[in-house]
Structure 1
Amino acid sequence: MANSGGGSAEYITHHLTDWCAGCAADHQPGGLVDFGAFTLDLIVVGLICAALVALLALFVRKHLTIEDPSGIQMAVEAGVEYVSDQVGQVFHKRNDFVGAMALTIFLWVSLMNLTDLIPVDLVPGVLGGIGQVFGAENVYFRIVPTAALDTPFAMALVVFAVMIYYQIRANGPGGYIKRFLTHPYGKWGAPANVITTLIDDVSKPVSLALRLFGNMFAGELIFALLAMLTLSALSPPSAMVAVWAPLHFIGGFVWSVFHLLIVFLQAFIFAVLAIVYLGMAQQTEH
């Protein structure tokens, strides 16, 4: 963990820096898109959350019962029923793939978002101590995958790819291309049609990713700012720590309760919008 004595800017920068393989000396990718950089912390935490979702599914499946369902089973069944209703309202035919995809998105994003409730200095502090044992001067590790652009955009691009597949399946390759040339201004407005349709399509994954990223990044930043209430009184140590430490605890608790709503709300919005976008994509163009 970065030394708080380096100032608030250094502290915040440290918490917003990824454990990155293939990054430059400043631990930053070469640009907004850098295929040679891998944010290992986001990958590790994302895989752990994915494994927990898989274990939950296996647990519910193993203990599935009609006579005496557990609370977890009833919660999962309620989620499956709600998602099935949403898919049924959008799709003309039964579509188990989209329903399973949306429920998986909700559970996975919820778990990744919940990591924001882990004390902001806990994981970086533990890993920093381990790193010092092995001679590492600075250890960077961001615990919230959805608070970085990588994870939300990766999920949004998967939804976008499935959306294109449904558009081609519904209209055929020729119909898919024709949509760019004739919609929405008719065949005489082909240049404007291409631009308008591209903006319409690309805005869906972009808005999907930025909405999740923006909310979770703001939450992560606020937790770091709250932590600085106490750290500011410890560098150098002063009697004000008796004031700032309780304020840190109270502020952190209040924000955690409020942020818990954001955690599940953003996961819900991402899953529902994925259903809506895929439902729109399977409509036949006339």
Structure 2
Amino acid sequence: MSGNTALDYIQHHLTNLAVGEGYWTFHVDSLIMSFSLGALFCYLFWLGARRATAGVPSGLQNFVELMVEFVDQTTRETFQGKSRLIAPLALTIFCWIFLMNLMDLVPIDLVPSLMYAAGVDYFKILPTVDLNVTFALSISVFFLIIAYSFKGKGAGGFAKELLFHPFGPWLLPFNLILNIIELIAKPISLSLRLFGNMYAAELIFILISLLPWWIQWALGTPWAIFHILVIPLQAFIFMMLTVVYLSMANEHEEH
């Protein structure tokens, strides 16, 4: 790996494998890892469904049924309305982000060292430390919010909400500005919350790896144990906020 100083080491571990220039720069490592983990999620749940039996269930079947029941119950309690998309969407978001976050528990130098030996200078295996990934997820949610706003309120109802809520028709410009800011803030907060928490955790792992080997385990082990709670928590928060935002968008205006 390039560089001999601590700063070089940190920059190396926080640099993506990129191709292209400017706007058309693609982070290849983030794309490979996110699509691979998404495919793994689909395969595991497909395999669990295919091998489902009415007799003694396997461990995979138990896990799949547990996840489906948990997400289904959560969405039923949170989403006010009927939609065949919400529960599968919530399940996909939770499991996909969980798997991506889980890559943070892989030893910090393992994959970069292997890739460097294979001739690849940079390779980050934690997709949620890439703003492009977290923003892509949140922008997808943003478009769904717009779609559900039209679906639940209709074009006229959505326009009325944007123009007349919360201060009435006399402050129409202020209403429009506030509502646009609120809409834009939702995907920004979703993406930055996930990115910020995972980036901070990854950076601490990197800093711990700079310490002498005999103290790395003393600091790294408790941080990894604590991070086991952070990984599903961040996935759950992203899922729950998505369901809440879509529920709010789908609500009919009562007055």
Question: TM-score band, normalised by the shorter chain?
Answer: over 0.9
Q: Does 1:111 align with 2:109?
A: no
Contact kept, 8 Å, 2:190 with 2:238, in 1: the verdict is yes
RMSD value, Cα: 1.4
Which residue of the other structure, out of 204, 211, 228, is the alignment partner of 1:260? 228
Shift of 1:209: 0.9
Which residue of the other structure, out of 170, 176, 179, is the alignment partner of 1:197? 179
- TM-score w.r.t. length of structure 1: 0.85
Other-structure match for 2:8: 10
Percent same amino acid at aligned positions? 41
Contact kept, 8 Å, 1:87 with 1:95, in 2: the verdict is no
Shift of 1:92: 4.1
Shift of 1:97: 1.1
Which residue of the other structure, out of 153, 160, 163, is the alignment partner of 1:178? 160
- TM-score w.r.t. length of structure 2: 0.95
Aligned residue pairs, count: 254
Alpha-carbon distance between aligned partners in 2 of 1:119 and 1:86, rounded to the nearest angstrom: 33
Which residue of the other structure, out of 181, 188, 193, is the alignment partner of 2:170? 188
Other-structure match for 1:70: 58
Which residue of the other structure, out of 20, 23, 31, is the alignment partner of 1:22? 20
- SS of match in other structure, 2:85: helix
Structure whose CA Rg is larger: 1
Contact kept, 8 Å, 1:14 with 1:140, in 2: the verdict is yes
Q: Does 1:284 align with 2:238?
A: no
Shift of 1:109: 0.5
Alpha-carbon distance between aligned partners in 1 of 2:66 and 2:241, rounded to the nearest angstrom: 19
Stretches of structure 2 lacking an aligned partner (at least 5 in a row):
none
Provide closer, same or farther for how the CA distance between residues 91 and 220 of structure 1 changes in structure 2, counting only shifts above 3 A.
closer
Contact kept, 8 Å, 1:86 with 1:275, in 2: the verdict is no
Residue by residue over 1:49-96, the C-alpha shift from the partner in whole angstroms, topping out at 9 and shown as x without a partner, is 011101111110111112211232222222222222222223344423
Task: Give 4+ residue runs of structure 1 displaced > 2 Å after superposition.
Answer: 89-96
Residue by residue over 1:18-64, the C-alpha shift from the partner in whole angstroms, topping out at 9 and shown as x without a partner, is 111113xxxxxx4xxx3x11111100000110111011111101111
Shift of 1:2: 2.5
Equivalent AA in structure 2 for residue 194 of structure 1: L
Alpha-carbon distance between aligned partners in 1 of 2:76 and 2:99, rounded to the nearest angstrom: 26
- Per mean C-alpha deviation after superposition, the further-off stretch among 264-273 and 250-259 is 250-259
Residue by residue over 1:92-141, the C-alpha shift from the partner in whole angstroms, topping out at 9 and shown as x without a partner, is 4442311011111111111100111111111111111111xxxxxx7111
